[in-house]
């Protein structure tokens, strides 16, 4: 029996919430008093998915491909990073079966933006909407995320040999 060549990858990221920065998740600008701080646009969800894809293909991690010391990535649109990871996956001989993810953020409520975020990710990943899932959780008011000082994202990706 031949074993199908499937690969899973796990991604995680965190960024600090601060005033005067935009809140961008999966490439979608979310109205919010606080935004995410970082070298790039600090899109914590896109970064987690980027690492999930790179991990599944055993192609290192986001910092290896896009060092945060490199001025080229200052203020970068993280969809560029994600798209680059998609190309790395393709060159390695895989296609993306699905991506699931969770954003952990105390506020604002994100559920009204779920479809917009999924559509944005679907376009960047080059896969159909039904293969892209985004979930949201609070941190129940405890810890840095719960106190509204930071946000986290988790992602998992499944790749299939083309
Ligand atoms: O964290 P908790 O279990 O209370 O979240 C309940 C629901 O609230 C989630 O399943 C999600 O649909 C929604 N939610 C949201 N935006 C957040 C956090 C949670 O829409 N920032
Ligand atoms: Mg990040």
Q: Supply the pLDDT for residue 1.
A: 78
Ligand 2 geometric centre to CA of 129 (Å): 23
Which uninterrupted H or E stretch holds 80?
helix 78-91
Q: Give the number of the atom of ligand 1 that is nearest the alpha carbon of residue 114.
A: 20
Ligand 1 geometric centre to CA of 135 (Å): 8
Q: Supply the pLDDT for residue 45.
A: 98
Kindly report the protein residue whose alpha carbon is nearest to atom 7 of ligand 1. Answer: 137
Those residues of the chain that have pLDDT short of 70 are none
> How many Cα atoms are found within 13 Å in the side-chain-facing hemisphere of 17?
19
Ligand 1 site-directed mutation target among 32, 107, 133, 136, most atoms within 8 Å of CB: 136
- Domain boundaries 6-161, corresponding CATH code: 3.30.1330.50
Ligand nearest to the CA of 112: 1
| Spatial separation of the C-alpha atoms in residues 8 and 96, rounded to whole Å | 10
Q: Is the CB of 105 under 6 A from ligand 1?
A: yes
Q: Is the CB of 137 under 6 A from ligand 1?
A: yes
Q: Supply the pLDDT for residue 99.
A: 99
- CB–CB of 86/36 below 8 Å? no
How does strand 150-161 pair with strand 132-137?
A: unpaired
Q: Supply the pLDDT for residue 10.
A: 98
Q: Supply the pLDDT for residue 155.
A: 99
Q: Is the CB of 111 under 6 A from ligand 1?
A: yes
In order of 52, 93, 137, 156, 162, the CA distances from 7 in angstroms are: 10, 11, 26, 10, 12
Q: Supply the pLDDT for residue 124.
A: 98
Query: For residue 145, what are its two tokens?
Result: 């995320």
Q: Supply the pLDDT for residue 76.
A: 87
Q: Supply the pLDDT for residue 75.
A: 82
Q: Supply the pLDDT for residue 74.
A: 84
């Amino acid at each position: 029996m031949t074993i199908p060549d499937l690969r899973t990858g796990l991604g995680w990221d965190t960024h600090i919430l601060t005033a005067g920065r935009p809140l961008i998740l999966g490439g979608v600008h979310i109205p919010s008093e606080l935004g995410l701080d970082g070298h790039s646009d600090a899109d914590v969800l896109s970064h987690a998915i980027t690492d999930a894809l790179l991990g599944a293909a055993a192609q290192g991690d986001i910092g290896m491909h896009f060092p945060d010391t490199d001025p080229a990535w200052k203020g970068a649109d993280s969809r560029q990073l994600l798209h680059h990871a998609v190309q790395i996956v393709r060159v390695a001989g895989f296609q993306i079966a699905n991506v699931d993810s969770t954003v952990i953020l105390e506020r604002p409520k994100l559920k009204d933006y779920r479809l917009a975020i999924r559509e944005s990710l679907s376009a960047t990943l080059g896969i159909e909407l039904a293969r892209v899932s985004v979930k949201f959780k609070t941190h129940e008011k405890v810890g840095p995320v719960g106190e509204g000082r930071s946000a986290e994202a988790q992602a998992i990706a499944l790749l299939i040999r083309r």
